[in-house]
Structure 1
Amino acid sequence: MKKNFLKVIKSTAAIAAVAILAVSCTKDNSTKPQSSSADSKLSVSAVPSSNTYTITGRWGNPASGPAVFGTVYVNLATGAQDTTSNTVGANVLFTSTNNSVVKVPTGYSLKYLYNTSATFSALKISDFTAAAVASVGQNTGGTTPNGWYNYVVPGGVTPISGFYLLVTNTTTNVNYVIQFTGAVGQGTATNNRGVYTIKTGIINNL
């Protein structure tokens, strides 16, 4: 079953990885984020608190095309998710084949960073120097990643270590960082979905 799923993802040159139905949300750190204006010394960590969400994509047949998987709407602050419409105040969207392509709704911007020396808790907004992009999915940049995962035989979808996303509310300037830490496929060659784990938190300094 698992082998069939991975074979489909490879043959469709698509993806098997990033969707979103909240299955679990656990606090990694109970410390509340501080703003740089509130404390000139900032906190020890630029991202002082984080959530880990296990996200489950929608079922679909890749042969029917990317649209069959619809969109998963996600609120990074609360972990609330919806697979039919944006009823959760989403600030990030997971779409395309196996809901593996990350986009943002109107009013938000999306950037990415690849830095294997960076650590999640120490990330700063200024680290994300690349221009905003419309979406981020499978890596097509080889050793200079432009996507959050590679397809690796025989393991399938594999999140890229050191790859981070920055989601910014362009009105309130609230910034969230996202890191994919896990991805698995479920189902058969003709009916499958991706299940993913992401880590996210607010960046509280520049």
Structure 2
Amino acid sequence: MFTGIVEEMGAIKEVKNGFKGWGEWEGSDGGMTLRVGGGKVLEGCYEGCSIAVNGVCLTVTEFDSESFTVGVAPETIRKTNLGLLGQGSPVNLERAAAMDGRNSGHMVQGHVDNVGEIIEKWQDKESLFIKVKAPRELMQYIVPKGFIAIDGTSLTVCETDVANGWFTFMLIDYTQQHVIIPKKPIGDKVNLEVDVISKYVERSLGNINDRLSRLEVANVLHVLRLIPK
């Protein structure tokens, strides 16, 4: 679990084909291994710990004083922008949240739902506004003033247009200096993780609707049985 408060911007040191999972090589069918340079996130690092790279929860398999290594599975590459990274690419980094720590962002799982595309950027004094095109299936979970994690950064949604499949968010000057999003040009891909609470609400409401539908059918059948033949 993460908070969406990026601890530092790191950089990709090395990219290798093949997924180096926990303890052994698991083949080269679309996976890859990343060596990531960092500083603060290496404090307290250990093999098997979780670090979010651009919002993707990954397991540390090796580390030294300047970098850590993670394996990226084929499914993760398909659902995120990690497959677009190369040597020198900047990345957002965050260690897993401590249970006794403060959460200044929101509940971020590190399970990216899909990628979006930056389609517009504009400045309003010191604030930077960004418009993102998102997959239609995610738009129902993206609401004005709601949470969303973009490349692992906890942000607040400003506007949404469900019909056209886009939303906007804003970065204050401080955030602009501490995350990678402002460095990205129009057309770049960003990782999107919608607020997990909205998914639980949808599932709960769906169960309620199913029960009501079954109850309605049962009532109709009961009435039909009472009608004289």
Instruction: State the TM-score bracket (shorter-chain normalisation).
Output: under 0.3
Q: Which has the larger radius of gyration?
A: 2
Q: TM-score, normalised by structure 1?
A: 0.24
Give the TM-score of the pair, scaled to structure 2.
Answer: 0.22
Higher relative contact order (CA 8 A, sep 6+): 1
Identify the structure with the greater helix proportion: 2
